[in-house]
Amino acid sequence: MKALVFLLVLANLLFYAFGAGYFGRPDNPDAGRVEQQVAPERMRIVSRGEAPGATPVKSEQVAPNGVQAPENLARGSAEGDKPVATEKASETKVESAQVAGVAEVAEKPPVCLTWRPLPLADADRLAALLAKRFAGYKVTRKLAASESNGWWVFIPPLPSKADAERKAAELRELGVSEFFIVPDALNRNAISLGVFSSEKGGQDKLAELKAKGVRSAQLASRPGKDSLVTLQARGPAGEKIELIGAVGALLPKSDTLACK
C-alpha cells in the first residue's frame, strides 16, 4: 500500500516538472497546439485587418419570452407602417368623396318656373299656394298686359308690411305726404304716390319726387281688373316635381314653363 502511494506521488511530481519545463521546452511553444485544435476545418476568415460588420438581424429571430417575432415587425417600423398609411389614405379619399358629394348637392342651382299669362285672380290663387306649401320659393310678379287704366307713380312692392311702413316713415321725413300702401294682391306692400290720366302728368310727379330725394319711385301704366300677369317662382330643385303637380291640380289649363 505504501509503495502504491509512493508511486502516485512520484508520478505527480514528474508531471509537474514536465509541465513547468524543468525537462526543457521545444523551440516553438505553439507547436503542440495544432494537435489540440477542435474541428479546425470549420474555421473561416471573415476579414483581414478590419473589424467584422454587424450581423444582420433575420426575420426568424426569436423575440423575448421565446415567441417568434412576426416577419413584418422584424423588418422595421418603416415597412410595418405601410399598411396603416395605405388604410388612412383610403379613408381620406372616401371622406373627400363624401364631402365633394355633399358640396355638389349644396351648390346645385335653384330652379326657376314661370306661368304666363295668368288672369289676376289665378295669379292670386297660385301665389297663395306657393306661400302655403312651398315657402322655399321666392315669387315675383310682372304685369303682362292690361287695359288702358292711366298711369301711376309708385315704389315697387316691399317684402313685408313692416318694410312698407318704414319706407312710408322715410317719405314723411322727405316732406312727402300724399301716398298710401297698396293692399291688393298684385302689388301688395307697394306704395302709390299718385295716379294720372296721362303719361306726362306721371313724369312731372316723378321729377318732383326725385327733387325731394325719393330715389326708388317709378312710373308705369296702372294695372286694371282685366290685367294679365306673369308669375315666376325660384327655389330648390328637390321640390320641383311636387310643385308642378300641385299647380296642375290647381290650374289645369296653365302650363308650367322654365324661366327664360
Mean pLDDT of the chain: 76
259 within a domain of the structure (yes/no)? yes
- Domain for residue 239, yes or no? yes
119 pairs with which residues across the strands? 228
Mean pLDDT, residues 81-89 taken together: 53
Q: What is the pLDDT confidence band of residue 224, given thresholds at 50, 70 and 90?
A: low
Q: Are residue 140 and residue 235 in the same domain, yes or no?
A: yes
Q: How far apart are CA 258 and CA 155, in angstroms?
A: 28
d(CA 71, CA 94): 30
Q: Is residue 206 packed enough to be buried (19+ CB in 10 Å), middle (13-18) or exposed (0-12)?
A: buried
Q: Which residue has the higher pLDDT, 53 or 20?
A: 20
For the chain, how many residues are written?
A: 260
200 and 218 both lie in a single domain = yes
For residue 13, being part of any structural domain is answered with: no
What one-letter code names the amino acid at 118? L
Domain that holds residue 187: 150-222
Q: Do 194 and 218 have their domain in common? A: yes
Mean per-residue pLDDT, 65-92: 50
User: C-alpha angle with apex 107: 91 to 95, nearest 5 degrees?
Assistant: 5
Instruction: Render pLDDT for 226-259 as a digit per residue (tens, 0 to 9).
Output: 778 888 999 999 999 999 999 999 999 889 999 9
The answer as to whether 162 is a domain residue is yes
Contact assessment for residue 206 and residue 217, using Cβ atoms and an 8 Å cutoff: yes
pLDDT for residue 155:
92
Claim to verify: residue 231 and residue 212 sit in the same structural domain = no
The answer to whether residues 209 and 177 belong to one domain is: yes
Whether residues 163 and 121 share a domain: the answer is: no
Same domain, 130 and 160: no
Co-location of 162 and 209 in the same domain: yes
CATH number at residue 237: 3.30.70.120
How far is it, in rounded angstroms, from Cα 151 to Cα 203?
9
C-alpha cell at 149: 287704366
Is the residue at 77 inside a domain?
A: no
For residues 113 and 160, membership in a common domain is answered with no
The answer as to whether 1 is a domain residue is: no
**Mean pLDDT, range 128-148, rounded to an integer:** 80
Q: What is the pLDDT of residue 251?
A: 92
**66 has a pLDDT exceeding 50:** no
pLDDT greater than 90 at residue 199: no
Domains held by the chain: number? 2
Give the DSSP H or E segment for 39. Answer: none
**Angle, CA 86 vertex, CA 83 and CA 87 arms, to 5°:** 85
Asked whether residue 133 is assigned to any structural domain, the reply reads yes
Residue 59 falls inside a structural domain: no
pLDDT band at 186 (very low <50, low <70, confident <90, very high): low
